[in-house]
Structure formats: structure tokens, C-alpha cells
């Protein structure tokens, strides 16, 4: 006997019949559960994959796969899911290169990912959030920082920013774009700041 469809979704057995979860919900989940793991994920990737140049690609692959999966159903434990996906993608690459060895198998335990580690106290997050964002904005390359602060915090238009900084609007756009990209690395990614200033 067929079960009502909503029941099967509740039970977590929704099968690929198109997106069950709205894109906005996936985005909210991704920002809330996945992005905060980026620093650890980047450490995990560089620990287990020696070609530095591929790391950003693998991270992107991880994000795409977990979000595609989340469209069907949110995994119960986002952290475990993200790192299992990362591990499998690395194993895939090992196979592709045919260099897989026992030692090379990514070690999830070393990153304490399988354990159900609680997320940091919300209050601790709240306490440090503004400081972290401030520190990230302050760490931007000077021209990027100026453009972002004027545009985003003081609310000036690109034309006004251009006048204030004594540069063209095109240059302002370039600084703003670079600022947005670098900010994401500073806020989520590794602290080593891969991206160099323009």
C-alpha cells in the first residue's frame, strides 16, 4: 500500500522527485550550518590533499554536493555530512591519480568530526561576532577596506566613493568586488589569507 507522500518526506525517504526544499531554505541552512565549518574544512583538505592548487576546487565541489543533497533533504548532522563528502571527494581524486595508499586515506577521526561535538555556545558566538567582523574588515587591503566601509557602512554610492577616494568608478567597482571576495575568505576560510591583494 502506498504511503501518503508527505509521510515519506517526514521519514526522510524522499526520492529524487525534484527539489523538496526551497532554495531559500537551502541557502539559510548553508550559511548557518556549512559556512562556519569552512576553516576546519580547509585545514582538512590541505592536510589530506597535497596539491594546494586544487583545494579551492575541492571545497567548491563539497559545497555543491552538500547543497544538492540538502535540496532533497537536510542531513541530520551537517558537520559529519560535510566532512564525509570531503573525504569521498578526496578518495575519488586519489583513485583518479591512482596513488591511493593506506596512509593517504583521509582521517576523519583526527578532525574529531565523527564525534557529536556541540557547536560553540551561542552567547560566545554573539559576544565575538561584531569583533570578528570588525577584525575582518580591518584586515582587508587598505583600498578595499576604504571602499567597503564607505559603500556598505556609510552608505555612499560608487560615484561618491570615487570622489572621496580620488579614483574612477571602475576602480571603485574593482575594489568593492575584491573586498567582497576577500571578506568571505577572512570570515569563513583559512586565516592564512590565500588571496593576494590586487
Partner 1 sequence: MTDAREQTGGARPRRSVTVEALEEQAATWLLRRNFFDWSEDDQKELDAWLEASSSNRVTYWRLNAALSRADRLKALHQPMRKPASASKQAFPKLARSIAAVALIAVAATGSFLYLSKGKDETISTALGGHKVVTLADGSRIELNTSSTVRVHIDGDHRAITLVKGEAFFDVRHDAEHPFTVDAAGQRITDLGTKFVVRNLSDRVEVALLEGRAHLAPLDDNSKSRRADLAPGDVAMATNRSLSISKASSETIAEKLSWRSGLLVFHNTALGEVAHQFNRYNHGKLVIEGAIADLQVDGTFPANDPMTFTKIAGDILHLRVERRGEDIVLSR
Interacting residues with partner 1 (CB under 8 A): 23, 26-27, 30-32, 35, 56-57, 59-61, 63-65, 67-69, 85, 88-89, 91-93, 95-96, 122-123, 125-131, 133-138, 145, 148-154, 157-158, 173, 176-178, 180-181, 183-184, 187-188
Query: 57 or 190: whose CB is closer to partner 1?
Result: 57
Cα distances from 64 to residues 84, 131, 152, 155, 184, in angstroms, run: 14, 30, 28, 33, 17
Q: How far is the CB of 180 from partner 1 (least distance, A)?
A: 5
Q: How far is the CB of 160 from partner 1 (least distance, A)?
A: 11
Reference 187, options 24, 31, 78, 28; nearest CA is 31
Q: How far is the CB of 144 from partner 1 (least distance, A)?
A: 11
| Cβ within 8 Å of residue 73, ≥6 positions away | 9, 12, 14, 20, 21
Residue 186, Cα to own-chain centre: how many angstroms?
11
Q: How far is the CB of 4 from partner 1 (least distance, A)?
A: 28
Q: Using CA atoms, how far apart are residues 17 and 12, in angstroms rounded to an integer? A: 13
Query: 111 or 176: whose CB is closer to partner 1?
Result: 176
Amino acid at each position: 500500500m502506498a504511503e501518503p507522500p508527505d509521510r515519506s518526506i517526514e521519514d526522510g525517504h524522499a526520492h529524487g522527485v525534484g527539489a523538496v526544499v526551497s532554495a531559500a531554505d537551502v541557502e539559510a541552512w548553508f550559511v548557518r550550518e556549512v559556512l562556519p565549518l569552512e576553516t576546519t574544512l580547509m585545514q582538512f583538505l590541505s592536510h589530506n590533499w597535497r596539491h594546494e592548487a586544487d583545494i579551492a576546487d575541492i571545497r567548491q565541489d563539497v559545497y555543491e554536493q552538500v547543497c544538492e543533497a540538502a535540496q532533497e533533504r537536510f542531513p541530520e548532522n551537517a558537520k559529519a555530512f560535510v566532512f564525509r563528502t570531503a573525504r569521498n571527494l578526496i578518495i575519488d581524486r586519489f583513485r583518479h591519480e591512482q596513488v591511493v595508499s593506506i596512509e593517504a586515506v583521509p582521517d576523519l577521526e583526527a578532525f574529531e568530526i565523527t564525534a557529536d561535538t556541540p557547536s560553540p555556545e551561542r552567547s560566545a558566538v554573539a559576544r565575538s561576532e561584531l569583533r570578528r567582523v570588525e577584525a575582518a574588515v580591518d584586515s582587508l587591503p587598505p583600498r578595499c577596506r576604504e571602499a567597503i566601509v564607505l559603500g556598505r557602512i556609510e552608505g555612499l554610492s560608487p560615484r561618491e566613493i570615487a570622489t572621496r577616494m580620488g579614483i574612477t568608478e571602475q576602480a571603485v567597482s574593482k575594489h568593492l568586488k575584491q573586498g567582497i571576495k576577500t571578506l568571505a575568505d577572512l570570515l569563513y576560510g583559512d586565516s592564512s589569507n590565500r588571496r593576494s591583494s590586487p
